[in-house]
Structure 1
Amino acid sequence: MADGFGHILNWRLLAGSHPFPGPDGGTCINEAAVVAAGLPYRAIRSSADCPPCFSHPLAAYALGLNDAMPDAERHRLMVFVLRLSGSADRPEIEAARTRHLAVAGIRRILGPLCGVAGLPELAERCAAAETGDAALAAARSAAWHGGLRAEDASHRRHWLAGARAAALARTATAAIRASADPRCAAEIAEGAAPFLPGTWATACTILEEALAIGRQAMDIDLLLAGRRLDAARGLQPA
């Protein structure tokens, strides 16, 4: 199994949607998942473009991470390439996934960013938020305090402190929207990553946890998936 998965890792993940890949090409995470599952290739520019068997919040979050991650980090998403097709579930399950992506992002990414910005009490408040309402209230407070601190730092010409506070305000604003839009949950990681080492690993762990909620994707043989990916690159017959 390890050898088969290693073969899949030869596929290149790239930011954005791409034409059908040639020998040197690649795709985003959702396009790779489409190919690996044996479904007809399609360009994916948003989670709405995914096949109906893809969980909308999981696909949206994965796509947001795919487009925001630096090239050196994007390979982390390859472990999810076989786990998106077949993950769609009932509306209440999809809502639970969306809620987890938002709350976990606030607790484990926005919270530490508050600490970096010099707001330890707010960091603790984010970390302690166990419900969607508590997490949303903490994010709103972070957006307000971040904006105030950024403005004050600008007046004082404290540029580093201002950059941290501005990043906090932007990231908290994304966290507020994440309760309704799972792609915005990926923007939490995007905003915090320049200031928090390990943010992309945390974001992938959050995706792993959301994948564990509800229906699991169909089992796809690793070697078969590898052959499908190779065929898409023109390296062997389909």
Structure 2
Amino acid sequence: MTAGPFDHILNWRLLAGSHAFPGPDGGTCINEAAIVAAGLPYKAIQATEDCPPCFSRPLAAYALGINDAMPDAERPRLMAFVLRLSGSADSEVVETERTEFLALESVRRILPPLLDTAGLPALAARCEIAAGSTDAMAAARTAESQGAVLAQAASHRRAWLQGARLAAVSRTATAAVRAFGDARCAAEVAEGAAPFAEGIWLMAVAILDEALAIGRQAPEIDLLRARERLDAARASSVGA
């Protein structure tokens, strides 16, 4: 999923990190932009806990994680979600389902390209066909341990590039295991794989899109009204 018309209709620039107040060209993270678009009191978002309670915690955590890790050229894809975060909070059961979905799909879709690049196609296939969370966690743990052992062996051979790939496998698989309890770690899976495999950010955005379809949907925010709020925030920063 790409930003489509949202990036130029809303006329806002997404940046990594937390921001005390939007600049004249926008200049906030995805969650801060969502706050402005929804007409909520502005606040800098340094962690998921800073988000308004109407934001789904796992969805906001994943969005914040990929927002901060994405290259500038990829980040506009997230503008498609500016109107979908406020009001997405749901029951504990649904939020757990969302967290598990983000983790499971990260193992199924994002780990395999990295594993293939590192020369571990059988393990990549195992991740792709993981039937559920238990299978996915087991596959990720195997990748974590194999990556570490093989990276050390590669360093002894002075096969530096292969060692870097395998070390990335181990680190990224560690994040994948942790993602089943912390959605921010699912974003770290994408961050770990992106330097070594193509199309990772596009997959991460697709996973966020699908996770947002689970449970309560954010109430519709009029696009033009959101644009007015974003414009007003920019104007306030100029006059400050």
- TM-score bin, normalised by smaller chain: over 0.9
Query: Does the residue aligned with 2:235 lie in a helix, a strand or coil?
Result: coil
- Runs of at least 5 residues in structure 1 that lack an aligned partner in the other structure: none
Task: State the Cα deviation string for residues 51-103 of structure 1 (Å, max 9, x = none).
Answer: 01000000000000000001111111000000000000011100000000000
Structure 1 distance, partners of 2:198, 2:210, is: 20
Instruction: Indicate if the aligned counterparts of 1:4 and 1:226 stay in contact, CA closer than 8 A.
Output: no
Query: Does the residue aligned with 1:234 lie in a helix, a strand or coil?
Result: helix
Letter in 2 for 1:140: R
Question: Sequence identity of aligned pairs in percent?
Answer: 66
Instruction: Indicate if the aligned counterparts of 1:146 and 1:166 stay in contact, CA closer than 8 A.
Output: yes
User: What is aligned with 2:200?
Assistant: 199
Deviates more, 1:23-32 or 1:61-70: 23-32
Instruction: Indicate if the aligned counterparts of 2:6 and 2:80 stay in contact, CA closer than 8 A.
Output: no
* CA positional deviation for 1:149: 1.0
Structure 1 distance, partners of 2:179, 2:158, is: 32
- Runs of at least 5 residues in structure 2 that lack an aligned partner in the other structure: none
The answer to whether 1:173 aligns with 2:158 is no
TM-score, normalised via structure 2 length: 0.95
Query: Does the residue aligned with 1:98 lie in a helix, a strand or coil?
Result: helix
- Structure 1 runs of 4+ aligned residues shifted over 2 Å read 2-6
User: What is aligned with 2:222?
Assistant: 221
Task: State the Cα deviation string for residues 161-187 of structure 1 (Å, max 9, x = none).
Answer: 101101101100100110001000000
What is the RMSD of the two structures over their aligned residues, measured on CA atoms? 1.6
1:146-157 aligned within 5 A: 146-157=147-158
Query: Does the residue aligned with 2:18 lie in a helix, a strand or coil?
Result: coil
Structure 2 distance, partners of 1:213, 1:64, is: 19
Structure 1 distance, partners of 2:133, 2:167, is: 24
User: What is aligned with 1:140?
Assistant: 141
Instruction: Indicate if the aligned counterparts of 2:7 and 2:76 stay in contact, CA closer than 8 A.
Output: no
* CA positional deviation for 1:116: 1.1
User: When the two structures are aligned, how many residues end up with a matched partner?
Assistant: 235
Letter in 2 for 1:229: L
